[in-house]
Every structure is written in structure tokens, then in C-alpha cells.
Chain A
Amino acid sequence: MDIMLLLTSTVTLTGGIPLTLLLTFASLLAGFVLAVPLAFMRASPRKWLSLPVLAYTYVFRGTPLLVQLFIIYYGLGQVGAIRSSVLWVLLRDPFWCCLLAFSLNGAAYTTEIFRGGIQAVATGMIEAAQAVGMSPLQIKRRIIFPIAFRSVLPSYANEVISLVKATSLASTVTLLEITGLSRKLVSETFAPYEIFIAAGVLYLGLTFLLTGFFNVLEARLNAAPQARTHPRRVILRQVPHEQ
């Protein structure tokens, strides 16, 4: 192995970090915003609210993210109605296609994570809020979601870390994030060993930072709340995103 090449390519590949982070955080944000209301719908006892959401999460969790990305990037362009619509301005751009795929996919996983947390909130907490006269929206916003979020934080952290790694799929639709840049570099230097190891090191670094962030967040939120006997740590786990 050429150590010098490994080091120089690590430096070169850092140029892909901004795009990787942009894809991660933008789809994280969009996924979160989508997932909160969807999780409440999914947790609802009313079938007409929960079933459509179940269908959505079932489809997005049951098919590979790569296939979803290809359908959006290659597939949607074949639909005349989309080509002639305003949407085409965004959908012909691989960045927006990735963002859409990652957001929808991430939202599906996040919805199911939050749904579990919401359903685990003790009825007594909700009754206490009803008894002081809070409205259903106030109860969701001030009582149910904060309690649920704390209890699912370790699972949510895993989802975020999966998403960082899932952004490598953007390289398949020409984006030059860390993995895309690596492939470009490999085709120029014919040194896949060093370059992909360098890419792996960068992902590991990002994951390390995020894991640390979530551990701190969890410790801060739980310094107070949430009856729990032993702290749960965020762990690296097998990617739930099919690839």
C-alpha cells in the first residue's frame, strides 16, 4: 500500500465532505419535518389516518434506496407530465433527485421510530395534560413528542448515521460527494485500494463526530428526564437502508 497516496487522496477527498454533509442534513431536516406529523398519523387509532402512512413506510422500507433513487432519477424523466411541469427544473438535477429519495426514505424510517416512541408514552402523562385542560395539539407538542423523542433518541441517532452512509449512493447519479469523488480519483489513478480506504476513513470520521454529538445530546436531555436505569449508548449498527 502506498501510504503517501493514501494521505494525499484523503486530503483530496475532503473536498467531497461538504456535499455529503449537505445531502445528509438537508434530507435529515426534510425527513424530520415529514416524519413528525406522519408518526402521529401512524400512531392514531383511526384507520383512515394510520393506513395510508403504513402503506408509505412499508413501500419505502421494503424497497432498496438505490432502486428508489433510480426510479426518481431515471424513471421520472420518462413521464411526460413531469417533464413538462415546473417540477422538472428540480428533478432533472441529480442533487434534487438524491435529496428527494433520501428524504422520503429517511422519513419512512424516522416515522416508524417516532411512532414507537409516541405509542410508548404512558396514558397517565396524557391524562394529566387533559386534566389541566390542554388541547390535543398542545398535548402532542408539549408532552407526547418531547417524551417520545427522548425515548427513541438512540434509534434516531442510528438512523442519522445510516443516512450519512446512504448518501454514498449519490455517486451513482454523478454527484461528486465523498464516494463520487473517490470513483473519479480511482479512474484517474487506478489505485482503488488506497483511495477507497481514504473514503472509508472519512466516513468513519463523520460517524465518530455524529455519534459523539448524539451521546452528548442524550446525556443532556436525560440528565434530567426519562426514567431509565442505565444509559443507552448510540452504537454503530448494520445499515437499515437497503443498498
Chain B
Amino acid sequence: MRAAKALSYPAFGVGEPAAEPGIRAERIEKRLGGNDVLRGVELIVRPGEILSILGSSGSGKSTLLRCLNLLTIPDRGDIWVHGEKLAIRAASQHGGPAGILDHRQVRRVRASMGMVFQNFNLWPHKTALENVTEGPVLVKGIRRGAAAELGRHYLAKVGLSDKADAYPRHLSGGQQQRVAIARALAMEPQVLLFDEPTSALDPELVGEVLRVMAALAGEGRTMVIVTHELAFAREVSTRAAFMHGGLIEEESPPQEFFSSPVSGRLRGFLASHR
């Protein structure tokens, strides 16, 4: 049974050597609660790139991130992950919701993209280690023993070797978020998605999470980070994007983005966050 699961999880790009790596999203539209949250966004994430997405709340940045692994299904638009186009059904004109057409494909794609949430979302009935090993065991079919070893490796990586057997409610917010990062890493994903990973943390706990993320950035991983931490974005990103009104208003390398922004809105945004 485990073996069958493992077989249903082929590596990316098998049989598609010419496939374009990274993520490409085209003309993404999403309407939520009567608002046009995304209005035809275009986004490319190249391998090894660290893309920060900034913007005021309500600008659509979290929704865009969630569209990349289809936790939110776009109403219209196309998404390619490592050259594979995601099979989604567009929302109908009469209000029929958008849907996933190929659930196996989506599970495979999600497994290749680690996601870290604003509220950590650790499973409360599992220890830190079990939170980390659950995905590798269930989704990749890795044996429990090997998965535990893998889990300990990644808990060590986020500095939590001594908390393997602790339950989430006994951990601080910063520790919980680091376990969540280890959980994402344990799937050995090709892309890491961060949805405001420090927004729910007490100020004194933000640093430990950002340090872990900076270390990951230093390993040449592909990361997409929705954040309000401007200084962090400036330091670790290879590219920064500013969203406003459901569109990417400006994007550029961090030096230009922060030092000589073109759009007036971005200038205002940066000024108000100094």
C-alpha cells in the first residue's frame, strides 16, 4: 500500500526534459466575497529566485500566493509549475465556482511546494516530530523510521532538536513557526511559499524565524515570500514585487525596488513603513 503511494509520486519533469522550471502564472483573476481580489496578475518565479511580495493588506498578495498551490483556485488564468500546466476549471459566468480537474496532479504539485502559514497551522494532536514526518510518510510513502530520521534532521536545521517530542501548545509562536518550516522542508520541495510567516508573532519572536528563513535563502532555494518585513525583504530577496488592487504594480531587484521606486504608490507604501 505504501509502495503504491510511493509510485504515484513521480519526481517532477519526468518525461519532460524540456520543461520550463519554476512557476508561471498568467492572467490570474479571483473574486472573493464580492471583491475582485486578483485582476489578471502575471507572475514568474525562476529556480533559485527569492521573490518577496509586498503590499498593503487587501492588495491580493496572500491570495496570489495561495493560488500557486491551489489552496485558492483562481477564477480564470493559467498556472504552470515546472512546465506542467495545472488542470483547473475556470469559474463560469453565472457564478459557478472554479474547480480542480486533476486532483492527483494537484496533490503532486502541492507536495513539491512547501507552504508556511501565517498562523503556523501545526496539527495540535501531533508532536513536533510527527508534524514534520506526517507528509513524508503519508504522501511520499517513506518508512516511519527513515521519516523520523529525516524529521530530526530538519528540526535540527531550524534549531529545535530538543523539541521533537513537544506538542505545539507547549511551544512558543516562534518555535511553532520553525516547526512549520521544518514540516515544509521535510517534503524536500522545489519551491517554498511563505504566507506572512511572522505576522502572527510577538515582536521578540520575529527574529528567530527570519534568521531561519535567511539561512534557507542562503542555500539557493526557490522561495516566494509574502511579508511585511521590508528590511528582511530588502536583505534576502533577489527580486521584490509590489501589489496593489489585485495587480503587480512594480517589480525589480531589491536595490532599485527600495532605493528608487518608480510608482508613486510604492513610494508612498515604502515611506509609510519606514
A135 within 8 Å of B (CB atoms): yes
Which residue in chain A gives the minimum CB-CB distance to B107? A133
Query: Across the interface, do B123 and A134 meet the contact criterion of CB distance under 8 Å?
Result: no
- Interface range for A: 20 to 34
Query: Across the interface, do A226 and B139 meet the contact criterion of CB distance under 8 Å?
Result: no
Q: Bits for A64-92, please: 1 = Cβ < 8 Å to B, else 0.
A: 00000000000000000000000000000
Query: Across the interface, do A133 and B135 meet the contact criterion of CB distance under 8 Å?
Result: yes
B12 within 8 Å of A (CB atoms): no
Query: Across the interface, do B115 and A226 meet the contact criterion of CB distance under 8 Å?
Result: no
Query: Across the interface, do B169 and A135 meet the contact criterion of CB distance under 8 Å?
Result: no
- Interface range for B: 20 to 34
Interchain nearest-CB distance for B190 vs A (Å): 13
Interface contacts beyond A124-B121, A221-B125: sample of 11 additional A-B pairs, CB < 8 Å, sorted by A: A128-B121, A129-B123, A129-B134, A133-B9, A138-B139, A142-B134, A147-B125, A224-B127, A225-B124, A225-B169, A227-B124
Q: How far, in whole Å, are A226 and B169 apart by their CA atoms in the complex? A: 8
Task: Give 26 pairs: A residue, B residue, CB < 8 Å, sorted on A.
Answer: A124-B121, A125-B121, A125-B123, A127-B71, A127-B121, A128-B121, A128-B122, A128-B183, A129-B134, A131-B113, A131-B114, A131-B115, A132-B139, A133-B108, A133-B139, A133-B187, A134-B135, A134-B138, A134-B139, A135-B103, A135-B107, A138-B138, A147-B123, A147-B124, A224-B125, A224-B127
Complex interface residues of chain A between 190 and 231 (CB less than 8 A to chain B): 221, 224-227
Q: How far, in whole Å, are A142 and B130 apart by their CA atoms in the complex? A: 11
B63 within 8 Å of A (CB atoms): no
A150 within 8 Å of B (CB atoms): yes
Q: How far, in whole Å, are A5 and B187 apart by their CA atoms in the complex? A: 69
B147 within 8 Å of A (CB atoms): no
**Centre residue among A135, A142, A224 by max chain B CB count within 10 A:** A224
Query: Across the interface, do A127 and B117 meet the contact criterion of CB distance under 8 Å?
Result: yes
Query: Across the interface, do A130 and B71 meet the contact criterion of CB distance under 8 Å?
Result: yes
Residue positions of B touching A, CB distance < 8 A = 9, 69, 71, 103, 107-108, 110-111, 113-115, 117, 119, 121-127, 134-135, 138-139, 167, 169, 180, 183-184, 187
**A124-B110 contact in complex given A224-B125, A226-B124, C-beta closer than 8 Å:** no
